[in-house]
Structure 1
Amino acid sequence: MNFKGKSLLITGGTGSLGKALTAHILTNHSEIRRLIIFSRDEQKQFVMAQEFPVKQFPQIRFFIGDVRDIGRLKRAFKGVDYVIHAAAMKHVHLAEYNPEECIKTNIGGAQNVVDACFETSVERVVALSTDKACAPINLYGATKLTSDKLFVAANNIKGDSPIKFSVVRYGNVMGSNGSVIPFFIKKKKEGTLPITDPKMTRFNISLQGGVDMVMHAMENAWGGEIFVPKIPSYKIMDVAEAIGPECEKPIVGIRPGEKVHEEMITTSDSFYTYDLGKYYAILPATSNWSLENFISEFKATKVESDFSYNSGENDEWETVESLRSLIKEHVDSNFEL
């Protein structure tokens, strides 16, 4: 995608994926006019500014603001061409105990982003979702499902605007803030790795895989798609064995709102789901473009009507050995048993 002369804003830009996107864009699209990091944590912005100094990267801007504040969003979006919406309250158990805060950020914030885009000149929006938005059983997942619906439906009310809204949905990002692998690496020093449920599985994607998916959606979305990657799963017991084979592994029970297995596509979604090769796409039930043309353009194939995609019934699995290699490559280069 050509970013020459364009401005891109990342909400929640100081998070793990936001920083990975920033590094990718500044490295591969140095011709970009402006890259704006929008977030509410001044300390994280201060730290990130040391990693990406303005003298070295004159395109970068840091903009303190909260997606709950529509006025601040409108000001930040002035002159912006592309938006990546990564801001969210994402910890499942914290959302269960602080529901109102989660709703304000994940639903209210999403609607504010949509509204701010309509009142400015934004052309493309990619919103980040999660496997927990699929058949949700916790508040975090329910708010992200609602967010997905808001971004998909925004394409139906855009009128003559050329703006396109799309969503990317993926599983656990390896090594991201608050995820299990950094947690286990830290707990290894204590000799104990707490296991919620020995049967638990999760999808696994690297930060770069998440970045690639966002960039794919930014370039290829027609509007209203929910893109889902084809990625492997891992068993929580294999993660524990990969990190601390000598550690004790007590079973502590599932935390509030957790699933044993995660889903990304349900059988109900299958009626609108197409295989694009590297990704699946859940298409909108109503759209302002031709399905036939979409199928032709992307060589898309309709999945079977009973198709589903969940981490417990995946065809591709990480092993203890592959997990150790991935941890060393993507999480901690100094990782040793």
Structure 2
Amino acid sequence: MPAHVIVRDLRKAYAGVEAVRGVSFTIEAGEIFGLLGPNGAGKTTTVECLVGLREPDAGDIEVCGLDARLHPREVKQKIGVALQSTSLQDKITPREALRLFGAFYRERVAPETLLERFALVEKADARVETLSGGQRQRLALALAFVNRPQLVFLDEPTTGLDPQTRHELHAAILQMKRDGYTVLFTTHYLDEAEQLCDRVAIIDQGRIVASGTPRELIAEAHGLQSVSLVTSRPVDLARLGALAGVSDIVGMSTDGAGVRFHTSDAVATLGALTRWLAEARVEVIELQVRKGSLEDVFLGLTRSHEEAGGAKR
């Protein structure tokens, strides 16, 4: 089956500032594809170009076998979109919103079906202004499915939600895959990308800096391990950074007594660290070591790219 999305050398600038600089990727039919990046990296601009909300300055976009730049109306019939926030009139109800949105499409799903699928039956006739954040987000997902789409775009759908609601939306996204939908999913929560996505692309400063399955990207971290350290009093970060294998030190607390860092040689690093702390009479409150994660890869790639950009400037 051909890829549902093909993007080649996508470019978009605002007032001379390049937000997207030569982005290319593909999304295969039936997969959950994650587009990851820090705030301002170009994720939302990329999605908006794909769904026809913004006109790219250059590049080719194929969506569901169609040239999205030449046939934007036809593309909109085949896709569903849930952006970071969905603005609806406060007095409208979920049932009314689903009927209204459905009227824009040749094919549509009955509101009752979507209300049941996204657990909104009890709120079907309640005003949108009375819905909780999680209920509003489920309504946004329901609206994205009103036209029986082949491909669904979810732009940071879990931002600002409580853990329970995030868990419920994760289950809904996995159900989309089981039902045969293709999903493009943007997020800055690396744990959910690692859990949900078949493949990911990491975008930073408008460019794709890495892509592959989460497992492949983690494997490319060359055995990097993450260490979390909490001590009875702050430690000298310069001396910590001079220990064997230590890199990427990040403070975890405002008082400086908690730090996190990476090491390429956990045995050597922990040996030197414990000797140093014993000599300095600093008590270890907590010490955790774990294997590299997608978050570690993400931080390493985006930080190194930022440093490289700074050096060029």
Same-fold call, TM > 0.5? no
Higher strand share: 2
User: What is the TM-score when the length of structure 2 is the normalising length?
Assistant: 0.33
Q: Which has the larger radius of gyration?
A: 2
User: What is the TM-score when the length of structure 1 is the normalising length?
Assistant: 0.31
